[in-house]
Structure 1
Amino acid sequence: MAIKQLLKRTSGWLYLNSPVGRNQLQGAGVILMLHRVLASDHAAELPHRNELCVGPKAFEHLLVWLKKHFDCVSLMDILQPGTVRSDRPKITLTFDDGWRDNALNAFPLLQKYQVPASIFLSTDFIGSRQRFWWESIGETLWGSHGERARMQLIDCLRQVGRPLPVAFDELDVERRSLALLHFLHSLKTLSPADLNRLTDECPDESLPQALDWQQVRMLEGSGLVRFGPHGASHAILTGLDDQRLHEELSRSRDALHNGCNRPLPVYCYPNGDNDARVREHVADHDYPFALGTGTGIYRGTDDPLNLPRFGVSQRVARNPQLLSWRLFRGART
C-alpha cells in the first residue's frame, strides 16, 4: 500500500507540473468537499473520523499546497466566472453541514491564508442543540462519553435490530475504528425516527455541534465565507414525498434568507443524493446550481444541478499529491 500511495503522489505531482496537466486544467474549476476541522490531527486520523474530518496541521498543509498550485477562489468565481483570465486552474473549498469547528478551527486558517470558502448549513441545527446522529452515535460507541453511555446505546441498537458486531471490542484501535466506520455507514438505512431515538440516547455535549447564527454573521462579515443550504433537517431528499420535499427546501431557503445577507444561489444535497424529481424541485425554489458528491472537474458543461466535487479526508489533506492524482483521473473522464 505504501508503494501504491507513493506512485500516486509522484504521478499527481508530475501531472500538475506537466504541460498536459496544465492544459487539461486550463479554464476548469475544482470544487473540494470538506466537513470538519478538528482541534487535533491525532483525533482526525482514526478511520471513523478520517472520512469527514481533518486536523488543523493537515488543513494548514493543504491550504499552503493549494495556494502554491491553484488560484483559490470563491465558489461563484467558478460557477459564474468573470472576464479575468488566469494561467492557473481555479479551486474552491466547500464545507457541508455547518459544524461549529468551521468557525473555531477552520476559519482562523482560512483568514491567515486568505482562502475563501462556502459553508452549506443544515439550518435546523444552526443555533440549536440539535445533534448530528453520525457524530453522537459514533463518539458514544467509541467510548468518548464513558462506558455506561456506550452500553446504554448498544442496548438501544439491539432494540432497533442493529446490534454492534460481536468482535468489535476485541479489535485493536485501528481495526475497531474501521469497523465503527462501516457500522455507521450501515445505520444510514434506518428511518429518521430511529436515528433520532438513537441520538437521544447519547449524552449531551458541553457545546452545540453546529454553528450559531451569530457565528454565521461573523464569518459572512469577514468577506471570506458565504453560506448556502444543505437541507433543513439533513433529510435525504430522494426519500421525501413532494410535500415534505417542498417543506424541507422552503424551510432551509427561508432560514438562509433570514440569517444571512447574501446567501448563495447554490443548493447542496444532503449525502449528495438527488434525482430528476429532486433537481426539478430545487430549480423551482430558485436555485440555478446544486452540489452533489460525484467526482469530477467542473468545465461549465456539467449539469448545473448536480455539480461534481472532490472529497477531502485527513489522509488527503496530509498528502495533497493524492488529490492531484484524483484530478488526473477526473480530467480523463
Structure 2
Amino acid sequence: MAIKQLIKRTSGWLYLNSSVGRNQLHGAGVILMLHRVLSNDRAADLPHRNELCVGPKAFEHLLVWLRKHFDCVPLMEILQPNALRTERPQVALTFDDGWRDNAANAFPLLQKHQVPASIFLSTDFIGSRQRFWWESIGETLWGSHGEKPRMHLIEYLQSIHHPVPVLLDDIDVDRRSLTLLHYLQGLKALDPMMLERLTDECPQESQPQALDWHQVRAMESSGLVRFGPHGASHAILTGLDDVRLGEEISRSRDAMFNGCNRPLPVYCYPNGDNDERVREQIAHHDFPFALGTGSGIYRGTGDPLNLPRFGVSQRTARNPELLSWRIYRGARP
C-alpha cells in the first residue's frame, strides 16, 4: 500500500509540473469539496472522521500547496469565466453542511492565505440546536460523551434491530474507527425520521454543531466567503416525493435569501444524490448550477446541474499530491 501511495504521489507531482499536465488543465476549473476543519489534526486522522474532516495543520498545508499550483478563485469565476483567464488552472473551495468549525477553524486560515471559499448550508440547522445525525451518533458510539450514553445508544440500536458490530469494542483504535465508519455508512439508508430519533437518543452538546446566521453574515461581509443552499433538512432529495422535494428546495432557497445579502445561484445536493426529476425541480426554482459529488474537472461543458467535485479528506490534505493524481485521472480525455 505504501508503494502504491508513493507511485500516486510521484505521478501527481510530475503531472502538475509537466507540460502535458499544464496543457490538459489549461482553462480548466477544479472544484474541491470539504466539510469540516477540526481544532486538531489527531482527531481528524481517525477513519470515521477522515473523509469529512481535516485538521488545521493539514488544511493550511493544502492551502499553501493550492496557491503554489493553482489560481485560487471564487466558485462563480469558474462557473462564469471571463476573458481574463490566466494560464494556470483555477481551483475553487466548497464546504458542505455549514459546520460551526468552518467559522472557528477554516475561516481564519482562508483569511491568512487569502483563499476564497463557498459554504453550502443545510438551512434548518443554521442558528438552531438541530444536530447532524452522523456526528451525534458517531461520536456517541465512539465514546466521546462517556460510557453511559454510549451503552444507552448501543442498547437502543439493538432494540430496533440495528446492532453494532462486535469490532466496535476492538482494542485497536484504527480498526475500531474503521468499523464505526462502515456502520455509519450503513445507517444512511434509514428513513430520516428514524435517524432523527436515533440522534435524540444522543446527549445534547454544549455548543451547536452548525453555524448561526450572525457567523454567516460576518464571513460574507469579509468578501472572501459566499453561501449557497445544501438542502433545508439535509434529506436525500432523490428519496422525497414531488411535494416534499419542492418544499425542501423552496425552504432552503428562501432561508438563504433571508439570511444572506448575496446568496450563490448554485444548489448543492445533500450527499450528492440527484436524478432527472431532482434536476428539473432545481431548474424550476431558478438555479442555473448545482453541485454533485462525481469526480472530474469543469471545462464549461456537461450538465451544469450536476457539476463535478473532488472530495478532500485528511489524507489528501496532508498529501496533496494524491489530489493531483485524482485530478490527473479526472482530466484525461
TM-score by length of 1: 0.99
Residue 167 (structure 1) shift: 3.2
Residue of structure 2 in register with 1:134 after alignment: 134
Instruction: Find the residue that maps to 1:167 and give its secondary structure.
Output: helix
RMSD: 0.6
Residue of structure 2 in register with 1:60 after alignment: 60
Alpha-carbon separation, structure 2, partners of 1:325 and 1:90: 16
Residue of structure 2 in register with 1:262 after alignment: 262
Residue 90 (structure 1) shift: 0.2
Instruction: Find the residue that maps to 2:203 and give its secondary structure.
Output: coil
Residue of structure 1 in register with 2:91 after alignment: 91
Q: Partner letter of residue 230 of structure 2?
A: H
Residue of structure 2 in register with 1:225 after alignment: 225
Residue of structure 1 in register with 2:318 after alignment: 318
Q: Partner letter of residue 150 of structure 1?
A: R
Within 5 Å, give how 1:190-201 maps onto structure 2. Answer: 190-201=190-201
Residue of structure 2 in register with 1:181 after alignment: 181
Residue of structure 2 in register with 1:332 after alignment: 332
Residue of structure 1 in register with 2:295 after alignment: 295
Alpha-carbon separation, structure 2, partners of 1:300 and 1:157: 46
Residue 83 (structure 1) shift: 1.5
Alpha-carbon separation, structure 1, partners of 2:331 and 2:110: 27
Instruction: Find the residue that maps to 1:258 and give its secondary structure.
Output: helix
Listed one character per residue, the Cα deviations across residues 143-172 of structure 1 (whole Å, up to 9, x for unaligned) are 000000001101111122210012321341
Q: 5+ unaligned residues in a row in structure 2: which ranges?
A: none
Listed one character per residue, the Cα deviations across residues 50-85 of structure 1 (whole Å, up to 9, x for unaligned) are 000000000000000000000000000000011212
Residue of structure 2 in register with 1:124 after alignment: 124
Task: Return 310-319 or 157-166, whichever deviates more.
Answer: 157-166
Alpha-carbon separation, structure 2, partners of 1:242 and 1:115: 38
Runs of 4+ displaced beyond 6 Å = none
Residue of structure 2 in register with 1:112 after alignment: 112
CA contact (8 A) 1:292 1:306 kept: yes
Within 5 Å, give how 1:265-284 maps onto structure 2. Answer: 265-284=265-284
Alpha-carbon separation, structure 2, partners of 1:66 and 1:9: 15
TM-score by length of 2: 0.99
Residue of structure 1 in register with 2:207 after alignment: 207
Instruction: Find the residue that maps to 1:216 and give its secondary structure.
Output: helix
1:69 and 2:69 matched: yes
Residue 202 (structure 1) shift: 0.5
Residue of structure 2 in register with 1:156 after alignment: 156
Instruction: Find the residue that maps to 1:32 and give its secondary structure.
Output: strand
Residue 193 (structure 1) shift: 1.2
CA contact (8 A) 1:294 1:309 kept: yes
CA contact (8 A) 1:289 1:305 kept: yes
CA contact (8 A) 2:229 2:267 kept: yes
Alpha-carbon separation, structure 2, partners of 1:68 and 1:124: 37
Q: Partner letter of residue 276 of structure 2?
A: A
Alpha-carbon separation, structure 2, partners of 1:268 and 1:93: 13
Alpha-carbon separation, structure 2, partners of 1:128 and 1:276: 32
Task: Return 190-199 or 36-45, whichever deviates more.
Answer: 190-199
Residue of structure 1 in register with 2:50 after alignment: 50
Task: Return 251-260 or 82-91, whichever deviates more.
Answer: 82-91
CA contact (8 A) 1:231 1:269 kept: yes
CA contact (8 A) 2:168 2:177 kept: no
Residue of structure 2 in register with 1:14 after alignment: 14
Q: Partner letter of residue 139 of structure 1?
A: E
